[in-house]
């Protein structure tokens, strides 16, 4: 959504040469951290300790293969980054439960929190509680609209929508395409939806976008897609904003209507997804879908742990290119976000062993 950035990452097509210059400039600044993950201890930041203490990790849900994979990566990456992480807590897609989970973790005396927010606005109540107790927070996957976090670890969700638009636009000269949207209470859902819509309008005016608000719910996606197909059996493309939630119901709905044709066959509906889970890769290999944008579940866990340890040590960061092929940007809210790479996966690179979806299960 796993699901997802109002600025989007692939708006940062910084060349290696420019990054090299930026890195060189970084080296000349003794106290300014630039975007590097090799940063300095802040003189005025919270913490300033040795990074020790228990860390709570709160998940948004576990019904998606994406979040199941992230959950599996958390203890491995915590060990790699020398973070004493407690067993993960699942908020079960309930924003109010997530606030309760945060308070419970704080009451257990955690010294840091890594949270994947369900609701960009509602999470502020939990962030405020953490700030009052002097506990740093790293947000993963979703950027909060307000509240204090040490870093947001996220891929550029605007780029997700743009990549899906570009892929469908190049495959389909004209006709109807559907975007099955995420929860618009989440910045991820809003970013992907608006980016896709804007890109189609600007670059592919012969495409007509039909929209399904599905709130990251598989049943909602299936029922609304069924209704939409009854009125529009001539759709030519689908953009699923979360393959972990929408892949199975979408394929089943198409199959039930005799519309699930393999890539290359007459009547094939071009499908682009988001997540990069193994099930999507299998669907690409079978010709059931055509592409997905791989959200880096492994890197979400790795840098979630990296940044919470840094925050507990009192380190701070600045916007700029990092040493791990990403870029730290400052959001309009003033929050910093490390926008991690999220490649487009098609039949041409689906077997790449470097893709995290090929290393699990």
Distance CA 166, CA 150 (A): 33
pTM for the complete prediction? 0.81
Q: Give pLDDT, residue 360.
A: 82
- Chain centroid, CA 108 distance in Å: 28
Strands 207-213 and 151-155: unpaired
Angle 278-285/243-256 helices, nearest 10 degrees? 40
Q: Give pLDDT, residue 361.
A: 61
Q: Give pLDDT, residue 50.
A: 74
Largest Cα–Cα distance in the chain?
A: 64
Q: Give pLDDT, residue 23.
A: 40
136 within 8 A of 168, measured Cβ to Cβ: no
266 — phi, psi (to 5°)?
-65, 135
Write out the two tokens for 260. Answer: 């699930």
Q: Which domains are seen in the chain, by residue range?
A: 9-155+296-340 (3.40.50.2300), 157-294 (3.40.50.2300)
SS3 3: coil
Question: What tens-digit pLDDT sequence spans the chain (361 residues)?
Answer: 544 332 333 333 333 333 333 343 333 323 233 444 444 433 333 444 777 899 999 999 999 899 999 999 999 999 999 999 999 999 999 999 999 999 999 999 999 999 999 999 999 999 999 999 999 999 999 999 999 999 999 999 999 999 999 999 999 999 999 999 999 988 899 999 999 999 999 999 999 999 999 999 999 999 999 999 999 999 999 999 999 999 999 999 999 999 999 999 999 999 999 999 999 999 999 999 999 999 999 999 999 999 999 999 999 999 999 999 999 999 999 999 999 999 999 999 999 999 999 998 6
């Amino acid at each position: 959504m796993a699901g997802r950035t109002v600025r989007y990452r692939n708006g940062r097509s910084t060349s290696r040469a420019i990054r090299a210059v930026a890195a060189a400039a970084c080296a000349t600044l003794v106290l300014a951290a630039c975007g590097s993950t090799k940063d300095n201890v802040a003189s005025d930041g919270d913490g300033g300790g040795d990074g020790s203490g228990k860390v709570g990790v709160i998940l948004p849900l576990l019904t998606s293969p994406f979040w199941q994979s992230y959950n599996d990566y958390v203890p491995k990456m915590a060990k790699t980054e020398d973070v004493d992480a407690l067993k993960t807590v699942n908020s079960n897609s309930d924003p109010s439960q997530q606030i309760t989970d945060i308070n419970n973790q704080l009451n257990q005396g955690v010294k840091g929190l890594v949270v994947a927010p369900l609701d960009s606005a509602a999470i502020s109540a939990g962030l405020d509680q953490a700030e009052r107790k002097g506990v740093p927070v790293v947000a993963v996957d979703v950027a909060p609209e307000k509240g204090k976090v040490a870093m947001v670890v996220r891929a550029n969700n605007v780029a997700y929508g743009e990549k899906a638009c570009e892929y469908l636009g190049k495959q389909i000269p004209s006709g109807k395409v559907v975007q099955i949207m995420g929860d618009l209470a989440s910045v991820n859902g809003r970013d992907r939806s608006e980016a896709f819509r804007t890109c189609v309008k600007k670059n592919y005016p012969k495409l007509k976008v039909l929209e399904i608000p599905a709130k990251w719910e598989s049943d909602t996606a299936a029922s609304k897609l069924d209704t939409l197909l009854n009125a529009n059996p001539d759709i030519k493309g689908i953009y699923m904003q979360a393959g972990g939630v929408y892949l199975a119901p979408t394929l089943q709905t198409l199959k039930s209507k005799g519309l699930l044709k393999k890539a290359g066959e007459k009547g094939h509906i071009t499908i682009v997804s988001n997540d990069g889970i193994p099930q999507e890769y299998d669907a690409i290999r079978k010709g059931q879908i055509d592409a997905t944008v791989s959200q880096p579940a492994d890197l979400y866990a790795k840098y979630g742990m990296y940044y919470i340890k840094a925050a507990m040590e009192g380190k701070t960061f600045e916007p700029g290119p990092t040493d791990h092929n990403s870029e730290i940007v400052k959001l309009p809210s003033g929050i910093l976000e490390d926008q991690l790479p999220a490649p487009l996966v098609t039949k041409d690179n689906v077997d790449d062993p470097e893709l995290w979806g090929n290393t699990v299960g």
